[in-house]
């Protein structure tokens, strides 16, 4: 890994987080890779990396980042992933990379929902991601979405309706019910995904202190506009500007789907499978016209 990353050269650094650092590397056969290193001697960081290995070695889906291998030196475990070349969804939505058309945003929503529905319904036991957000959705050269960062993910126990666990995740994306009663369910991911849908529609950040104080939280801001029947005012003007009536209808439909995902009470939220099917339906409506 030292050879592949040029001895973890700083110019190869892709990102840092609570877990440690991620470097770009190249294998001897020319395959580009991403190398995630835990913080040395930090047990929490090591635990997250080991958890991610455990989760990712059990799953295989085109919308989830692939784990290629790992090195389990307990001082500093290292994970090797496929390299995803086009940055994060957040980079594209918040001006750090090229902007996305509505068509691309819709297919990113669809692919992400498909990956999460796979984790909830096809993985055995089911897996709750627990940190769904736009910085954890990577885009490849074709702008296809890959869900990443499973450091906080949990395996569900088949006979339990929820997992009791300390609320972890990212402010602005955190399921309020999970935050209140520490019960993690598949609907906690649905809530976070609803926030990502709002980001795709508005190009706004989940938490942004440059908005008026009542609107700092994107969920509260959009819910207020929905109450006032002004949902479309929240949508990024760059995608509404030259949009056809059908495209505007699909934006509205995604907006209302997002609002159903961010319902306060988890019983009122759709499942990830239902969300995926709904996005599929919205896309076909757009294509059929």
Do 49 and 186 lie in one domain? The reply is: no
75 and 133 share one domain? no
State the pLDDT confidence band at 162, using cuts at 50, 70 and 90.
low
**What is the pLDDT at residue 161?**
55
| 181 lies in the same domain as 55 | no
Which domain covers residue 183, as residue numbers? Answer: 89-287
Mean pLDDT across the stretch 32-55? 80
Query: Tens of pLDDT along 174-218?
Result: 888 887 887 778 999 999 999 999 999 999 999 999 999 999 999
Label residue 153 by pLDDT band (50, 70, 90). confident
**Least confident stretch, 99-108, 164-173, 261-270:** 164-173
| Confidence (pLDDT) at 176 | 86
- Residue 45: how many other CB atoms lie within 10 Å: 20
One of 29, 47, 75, 131 is an active-site residue; which one? 131
Same domain as 256, residue 147:
yes
Is 5 inside a domain boundary?
no
pLDDT at residue 166 in the model: 62
Boundary-marking domain end, from 82, 111, 128:
82
Residue 160 has pLDDT above 60, yes or no: no
Asked if 121 and 68 sit in the same domain, the reply is no
Residues 107 and 67 in one domain: no
Assign residue 143 the CATH number of its domain. Answer: 1.10.510.10
Structure tokens at 91: 């980079």
Residue 37 within any structural domain of the chain: yes
Considering only CA atoms, which of 205, 208, 130 is closest in space to residue 169? 130
* 131 included as an active-site residue: yes
Residue 90 CB contacts under 8 Å (≥ 6 apart), including other chains: 96, 133, 134, 135, 137, 199, 205
Residues 30, 139 within the same domain: no
The dihedral sign for the CA sequence 110, 136, 239, 248: positive
Answer whether residue 2 is part of any domain. no
- pLDDT tens sequence across 232-275: 999 999 999 999 999 999 999 999 999 999 999 999 999 999 99
Site of tokens 């990113």: 108
* Mean pLDDT confidence for 135-151: 92
> Which one of 50, 82, 114 terminates a domain?
82
Least confident of 34-38, 43-47, 89-93, 209-213: 43-47
State the pLDDT at residue 7: 87
**Are 63 and 160 contained in the same domain?**
no
Residue 102 and residue 243 in contact, taking contact as beta carbons nearer than 8 Å:
yes
Q: Which residue has the higher pLDDT, 219 or 50?
A: 219
Does the structure show a pLDDT above 80 at 282? yes
Q: Is 134 contained in some domain?
A: yes
Residue 105 sits in the same domain as residue 216: yes
Residue 130's nearest CA partner among 70, 90, 84, 178 is 178
- Residues 93 and 64 placed together within one structural domain of the fold: no
Do 97 and 179 belong to one domain? yes
pLDDT value for 76:
77
pLDDT mean across residues, the chain: 88
Residue 1 lies in a domain: no
Domain total for the chain?
2
Q: Is residue 166 part of a domain?
A: yes
Per-residue pLDDT at 93 exceeds 90: yes
| CATH number of the domain enclosing 15 | 3.30.200.20
Q: Do 98 and 17 belong together in one domain?
A: no
In the chain, pLDDT over 90 holds for what percent of residues? 58
Residue 164 has a pLDDT of 59
> In this predicted structure, what is the pLDDT of residue 48?
76
Domain C-terminal end among 82, 100, 120: 82
Crossing angle of helices 245-261/218-227, nearest 10°? 120
With respect to residue 74, please indicate whether it lies within any of the assigned structural domains: yes
| Integer Cα distance of 98 and 126 in angstroms | 35
Choose the weakest-confidence range: 43-52, 57-66, 213-222, 223-232: 43-52
């Amino acid at each position: 890994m030292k050879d592949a990353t040029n001895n973890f050269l700083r110019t190869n650094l892709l990102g840092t987080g609570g877990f440690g650092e991620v470097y770009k590397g190249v294998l001897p056969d020319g395959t580009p890779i991403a190398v995630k290193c835990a913080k040395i001697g930090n047990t929490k960081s090591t635990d997250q990396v080991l958890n991610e290995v455990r989760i990712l070695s059990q799953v295989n889906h085109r919308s989830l980042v692939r784990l290629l291998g790992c090195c389990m030196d307990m001082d500093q475990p290292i994970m090797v992933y496929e390299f995803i070349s086009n940055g994060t969804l957040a980079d594209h939505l918040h001006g750090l990379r090229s902007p996305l058309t509505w068509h691309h945003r819709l297919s990113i929503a669809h692919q992400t929902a498909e990956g999460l529905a796979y984790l909830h319904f096809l993985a055995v036991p089911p897996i709750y991601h627990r940190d769904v957000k736009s910085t954890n959705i990577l885009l490849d050269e074709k702008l296809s979405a890959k869900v990443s960062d499973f450091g906080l993910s949990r395996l569900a126990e088949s006979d339990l309706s929820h997992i009791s666990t300390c609320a972890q995740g990212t402010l602005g994306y955190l399921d309020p019910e999970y935050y209140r009663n520490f019960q993690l369910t598949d609907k906690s991911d649905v809530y976070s995904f609803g926030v990502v849908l709002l980001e795709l529609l508005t190009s706004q950040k989940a938490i942004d202190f440059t908005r008026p104080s009542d609107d700092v939280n994107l969920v509260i801001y959009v819910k207020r506009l929905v109450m006032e029947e002004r949902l479309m005012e929240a949508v990024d003007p760059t995608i509404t500007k030259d949009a056809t009536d059908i495209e505007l209808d699909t934006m509205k439909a995604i907006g209302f789907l997002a609002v159903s995902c961010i319902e306060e009470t988890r019983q009122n939220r759709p499942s990830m499978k239902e969300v995926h099917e709904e996005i599929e339906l919205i896309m076909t409506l757009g294509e059929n016209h």
